[in-house]
Amino acid sequence: MGFFTDAYDLFIIGTVTAILTPLWHLNTGQLALLNSTSLASAALGALFFGKMMDVLGRKAMYGIEVILLTLGAVLSAFAPSFGWLIFFRFLVGLGVGGDYPTSSVIMSEYSNRKNRGFLVTMVFAMQGLGLLVGPLVAALLLSSGLPHPLVWRLMLGLGAIPAASVIYLRRKISETPRYLIAVKDDAQQAAEVVSHLTGNLLTTVPDESVATQKLWTRRNMIRLLGTAGSWFLIDVAFYGNGVSSQLILKALLPRATLVTTTLVAAGIFLVAAVPGYYIAAAFMDRMGRKVIQSVGFGVMALAYVSIFLVPEIVRLPILFLLIYAVSYFFIEFGPNTTTFLVPSEVFPTNLRGTAHGISAAGGKMGAFLGAFVLPGILKSLGLSHTMGLLAAVSALGILLTLLTLPEMKRHSLEDNEEIWRAQGVSDSRLPQPTE
């Protein structure tokens, strides 16, 4: 549910800034800071939780991130001033960032090669529901007749509910057997966990030498460039689109009310974004991560460049919204889901949390850049040139995907561990899986 709140918050903050601007007389700098603070702190949260889950264990850290998220959301609703609101948004970001490595790594380590892509992607797919619920809640509150000074507080505070609902369950989860074996060298406890969860005995123990792997090797750095770089690029586009959605829709529908633009955004999310998450999950273990990520970046680039090359599209709201929706679908059926999954698969167990945290931090810095810079670019250069910039970002994502990342479809995490022990194995290829 952390990803539900993450996506809910992504949309809601755009509406909250629209409400707060006249109420608190916010200037351009304050608006940018409000939009992007939680994104910057999410990078710190991802780094901290990713590292600590490798040091202290998956179980030790799981659940603390949603406690921070819940606390930050509740306190944001009661913020007495702009400064306090920024601080509480910082707490929200720490929790959101921490949820990326913890949830992905734990689900990946509990999954098998056959459906790991599906299971990890389904965890992330909760973001799709948050993208839908966010604008619906905003529209409901805006049309309720409640005063705006109360509405924005309710919008922020309601984000705490889904996160709070999973705190107990997360704190009760067992340590993953893979971590117990590869890092703690405790095969007996790992066998007990497997027996408790499945009723089966653990019979295969990975080589202990995996636990000695270091992060700063050539192979690791190439993969880290691929995972963190791809995540950075997609989040520039994804969060830039999300936070700027009200500005984009206002530019297309200048006479529309805030409620109208909010409902239009909800329609786009329902028709395009939400199906993208679940279709990606269904095909992740069939098509493969690299194919889905490359195709997603490619279609995004085509959608954005069409608006850049034919600016008149901006004057045709229906056509523009169609292209905008297509880009949203292939963000989800593409790099937004794969960048969450891949870092949990391509690094050895003792580095998995740290590497995923660095990758997620790269993504959040891209999100920060998109939220902080794109609204200004949109205002100064216009919509078509902004889309041209996003097209270039997407094209770079294709190159990174193809040149730096291995394909983990139908491979177990133990297949990947073999690469870290083997000598003379190509950086870009895994051994072929057996049937």
Least confident of 107-111, 280-284, 414-418: 414-418
pLDDT at 201 over 70: no
Domains in the chain: boundaries: 2-417
| pLDDT of the residue at 65 | 93
* Mean pLDDT in residue range 233-258: 70
Which DSSP string corresponds to 262-319? Answer: HHHHHHHIIIIIHHHHHHHHHHHHHH-HHHHHHHHHHHHHHHHHHHHH-GGGGG-HHH
* Percent of the chain scoring above 70 in pLDDT: 84
pLDDT tens-place string over residues 256-296: 777 777 777 778 778 888 899 999 999 999 999 999 999 99
Across 148-152, 168-172, 324-328, least confident range = 324-328
- 257/368 Cα distance (integer angstroms): 27
Please report the pLDDT score of residue 209 as a whole number: 46
Question: What local confidence, expressed as pLDDT, does residue 291 receive?
Answer: 97
- Residue 92: pLDDT band (50, 70, 90) is very high
pLDDT-derived band of residue 218, with 50, 70 and 90 as boundaries?
A: confident
Our CA dihedral for 201, 206, 211, 215, rounded to 10 degrees, sits at: -120
- Is residue 241 classed as helix, strand or coil in its secondary structure? helix
Instruction: At 168, list the tokens.
Output: 């107990």
CA distances from 258 to 14, 15, 389 (A): 11, 8, 27
* Superfamily of domain covering 2-417: MFS general substrate transporter like domains (1.20.1250.20)
Per-residue pLDDT at 104 exceeds 70: yes
Mean pLDDT of the chain: 84
Contact 416, 408 (CB under 8 A): yes
Quick check: 320 pLDDT over 50? yes
Kindly give, in sequence order, each residue whose CB lies less than 8 Å from that of residue 54, ignoring residues fewer than 6 positions away.
183, 350, 351, 352, 353, 354
Q: pLDDT tens digits, residue range 167-179?
A: 998 998 888 888 8
Q: Which residue has the higher pLDDT, 202 or 308?
A: 308
